[in-house]
């Protein structure tokens, strides 16, 4: 088995703030029945896309073991990001948490990083993929860790939920499927969750950068 090299913060720090990350491609279909924004590493995001909407792939583990595993992921991610920020001479504090079935890490107080991350969150997703790879290299397991920069993801999620709710209402009133704009895996999962909550069926359609969610009216 060939060991996956750990991403070197010294090699990525200088480029990270200017990185123009391409939209992730995803191979696995998504539906609302399936249980983190554009990313920099298309291959790794495609492999992780299944995990955005799927639960239960990991072997059964106790609550204590799961919590310990996720806390370890958070610690590894924090060490990696702190080193990256130091090398790039960027300010920022790292907050670690556990959100459901994944580790959650947020870079707070990073004004320059926050400006570079807007408007689409491309920098955040590029750093998330590098951080997931660093965690996977240390633990040997694929990580579903979610990274946020200055609350961007939480704010963006609220906007997405509003769009999804409007599409749900349109599907109900018009009686026709409603296709939303192309989205990345994180965005599509938010829309699927809203559709499921409202009792409607949703599916992902299209390939690559054109992959989007279609919400269907009740049958």
Q: Pseudo-torsion of CA 131, 132, 134, 138, nearest 10°?
A: 140
pLDDT for the residue 7: 66
Beta-sheet pairing, 102-108 with 146-149: parallel
Q: What is the pLDDT of residue 32?
A: 44
Each residue's pLDDT, cut to its tens digit, for the chain (219 residues) gives 445 556 666 555 544 444 444 444 444 444 444 333 333 444 444 444 444 444 444 458 899 999 999 999 999 999 999 999 999 998 899 999 998 888 999 999 888 888 988 887 889 989 999 999 999 999 999 999 999 999 998 888 889 999 999 999 999 999 999 999 998 888 898 999 999 999 999 999 999 889 999 999 997
Closest residue by Cα to residue 105 from 151, 70, 148: 148
214, HSE (Cβ side, Cα atoms, 13 Å): 10
The reply to whether omega before 205 is within 30° of 0 (cis) is no
Is residue 137 within 8 Å of residue 166, measured between CB atoms?
no
b/e 86-125 (16+ beta carbons within 10 angstroms → b): ebbebebebebeeeeebbbbbbeebeebbebbeebbbbbb
Specify the pTM: 0.61
């Amino acid at each position: 088995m060939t060991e996956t090299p750990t991403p070197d913060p010294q090699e990525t720090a200088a480029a990270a703030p200017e990185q123009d990350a391409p939209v992730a491609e995803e191979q696995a279909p998504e539906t609302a029945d399936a249980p983190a924004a554009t990313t920099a590493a298309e291959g790794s995001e495609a492999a992780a896309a299944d995990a955005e909407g799927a639960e239960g792939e990991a072997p059964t583990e106790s609550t204590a073991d799961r919590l310990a595993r996720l806390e370890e992921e958070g610690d590894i991610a924090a060490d990696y990001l702190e080193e990256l920020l130091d090398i790039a001479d960027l300010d920022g504090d790292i907050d670690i948490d556990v959100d459901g079935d994944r580790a959650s890490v947020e870079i707070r107080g990073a004004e320059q990083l926050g400006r570079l991350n807007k408007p689409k969150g491309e920098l955040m997703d590029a750093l998330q993929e590098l951080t997931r790879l660093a965690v996977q290299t240390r633990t040997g397991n694929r990580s579903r860790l979610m990274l946020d920069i200055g609350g961007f993801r939480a704010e963006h999620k609220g906007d997405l939920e509003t769009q999804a709710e409007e599409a749900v209402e349109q599907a109900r009133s018009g009686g026709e499927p409603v296709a939303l704009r192309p989205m990345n895996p994180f965005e599509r999962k938010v829309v699927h969750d809203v559709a499921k909550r409202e009792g409607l069926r949703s599916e992902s359609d299209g390939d690559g950068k054109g992959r989007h969610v279609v919400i269907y009216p009740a049958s």
